[in-house]
Chains A and B, each alone.
Chain A
Amino acid sequence: MKEEKIVESKDPLMEKIEQLTPGDLEKALRVFKEKIDHKSAVHLNSCVHCGLCADACHYYLTFNDVESIPAYKLDLVTSVFKKYFSFTGKTVPGLVGAKTFDKEMVKLWVDSLYGRCSLCGRCSINCSIGLNIPYLIRAARGALESIGIVPPGLQSTVDTAVEKGNNMGIAREDWLETVEWIEEEMQDEIEDPEAKLPLDVEGATYFYTINPREAMFFPLSISAVGKLFHAAGESWTFSSGYYDVTNYGLYNGNDEAAGTISDRLVQTMETLGCNVLVLAECGHGFNSNRWEAPEWLRKKYGFEVKSILEVVAGFILDGRIRLDPSKNTKRVTLHDPCNLVRLGGIVEEQRFILKHSVTDFVEMTPNRQKNFCCGGGGGQLSMTRFSRRRIDAGKVKADQIRDTGAQLVATPCHNCIDQLMELNKHYKLGVEIKTVCEIASEALMV
């Protein structure tokens, strides 16, 4: 596919880059160095330019250009690393391809590291050496962020989360009202006034978080989980304060902001005295809060962190909920969110739940750890300047879905859902898209 060039007559981000001073560039390099630990330094020393990562990337499969090859994107980072932090790069830069970090390089970083990478990590598992490419790209994004070079949509998502407590800026009263009316609807639907969406229950076993988009646009996701918890007779709670599972600090590379966002959930856990922090169906939210946040905060948690999928699979396994697959007879396929599966280790639970919830489940090819990114990760959904590219690169996923013949796509991630909904419309897939818990709740035998 030939890519449409992104041309904006007056581009504030490009203007910002033009105004960068040598001091800004030095600062970005300093931050870049701070973000590199010994493991990253080993990775930065080890790419052999074999190019075998190329067709692991959905951008390359779509555009078939050099700029989309993961090794090229990584080389933009390693060339700067070599120039400033390696002996050979300093002495014979031409030999090893060491390059100066200047405004032109910043532009290339923006286009490649923000605009051509969803940090999905598929290149890493296919790298002939095994380099952790998304980590290196995130470090470089963090360096850009330190000098204010972040696509505005991505930065504002982080800023809103830091300032307002959730990434949609939902006011507390609105959240409480939303919980109240979803609870009423849920009670009516299952004809059980005892079914609750509990708030701020101290000492509850589970503290459940959500993606704020659920409160705004996908209330069925919330009531689905409510039904499952209720059917299992489990002790659980929402928080009236902080409940946002998302963390776009993972994507703009700012560890401090990312830590601030995640720490609110930790503090809420400690305030409520719950045992398990349960993360909603959100890929990057899971990776952030399960794996990365303890590193950002530099502390071990005194509680368990689980995906809602682990919890629901446990309910089924323990016989605490019963599901009737005959309630879902459509052909269902599953999209594996990269952050949850390839980077998070939650692989079989969603399959276990679906196989108890539907009669006709079919895998995509490839699937599990090897699945293709939908194209919505890495903050792509928030960066409007790259929207066209995101939709084009999503064709790989659209083709995967079409090939299954499924009528319904399940995915345990609201970011993925947003991207899949756009792909559904753009590529005329004619499928429904739901979360795993929504499908499981439809199969509930109450």
Chain B
Amino acid sequence: MKYAVIASFLFAAASLTILVLKTFSFGKKELYSEPKGSVKKGIVYAFGKGMMPWEKESAGNHLPTYIGGVLYHGGIFLSMAYLITVIVPIEIPPAVLLIFQVFCGLGIVTGLGLLVKRYSKPHMRALSVPDDAVANILVDIFLIAAFLHTVFPGMTPYFFPAAILMFLYMPFGKIRHCFFFFYVRILFGTFYGRRGVFPQKPRVT
């Protein structure tokens, strides 16, 4: 079954690549205006300070959600890493296994928490489409399966299908943002960096 996991991952990666290439079919526009700031600094800002809660008001004002989001995504990435160790396979020291368990566990709690928040708040519910729930549930199932596998290694017959399902769904719904997120942040940094908006210039004293 591990080859099915690899195949589903390759399917997801290939599909996401095609999706990105497809965006180029809309045309790439050359920029003619004279840059003022630094694109490089803008991109560094976009991936660094620009994501911090003290910099981004939406994160600072919604700290529990922000922290939940960070833990959720941290849990997902570490579960992916754990999946690799199972597929290869790589023996994991108990301390590292504990880290996987902690982050998978936190990922499950925060993932389900974000799902509950989405459907318990009227405004969030109104913003949501079925894909929001499907994506969250598939990822949560993957996290739960990963966590159980860290405790009961015999759970492979459940862990691998959970991964396959998630990978197969990835290009069709919002899970694709795992890839697009990085691209958008680069575009964000490029836009504001080029215009000299971010990072901020030294303040007048």
Contacts and interface: CB of A to CB of B under 8 A. Distances in A.
The answer to whether A and B interact is yes
B115 to A, nearest CB: 12
Contacts of B31: 294-295
Contacts of B192: 125
Given A42-B20, A42-B187, A294-B33, A96 B201 contact: no
B37 A345 contact: yes
Contact of A38 (B27, B127, B131): B27
Given A36-B26, A345-B196, A369-B198, A130 B46 contact: yes
A301 B131 CA distance: 46
Contacts of B95: none
B51 to A, nearest CB: 8
Given A130-B184, A345-B195, A368 B200 contact: yes
Nearest to B172: A88
Main secondary structure of the interface of B (DSSP, over half): helix
A130 B186 CA distance: 9
Contact of A344 (B29, B197, B200): B197
Nearest to B190: A39
Interface in B10-37: 19-20, 22-34, 36-37
Nearest to A295: B32
A87 B192 CA distance: 31
A88 B16 CA distance: 13
Contacts of B183: 42, 46
Given A45-B180, A132-B187, A345 B36 contact: yes
Given A132-B191, A351-B204, A46 B177 contact: yes
Given A55-B61, A295-B32, A129 B195 contact: no
Interface string A37-76: 1111111011011111111100000000010010110010
A366 interface: yes
B33 to A, nearest CB: 4
Given A39-B187, A71-B127, A342-B197, A52 B204 contact: no
6 smallest A-B Cβ distances: which pairs?
A97-B129, A130-B188, A345-B196, A294-B32, A126-B58, A41-B23
22 contacts: A37-B27, A38-B24, A38-B28, A42-B180, A42-B184, A49-B174, A52-B59, A53-B58, A55-B58, A72-B126, A72-B127, A75-B127, A88-B172, A95-B129, A125-B50, A126-B56, A126-B57, A292-B33, A294-B31, A294-B33, A295-B31, A348-B201
Interface of A: 33, 36-43, 45-46, 48-56, 66, 69, 71-72, 75, 87-88, 92, 94-97, 124-132, 290-295, 297-301, 304-305, 341-345, 347-348, 351-352, 355, 366, 368-370
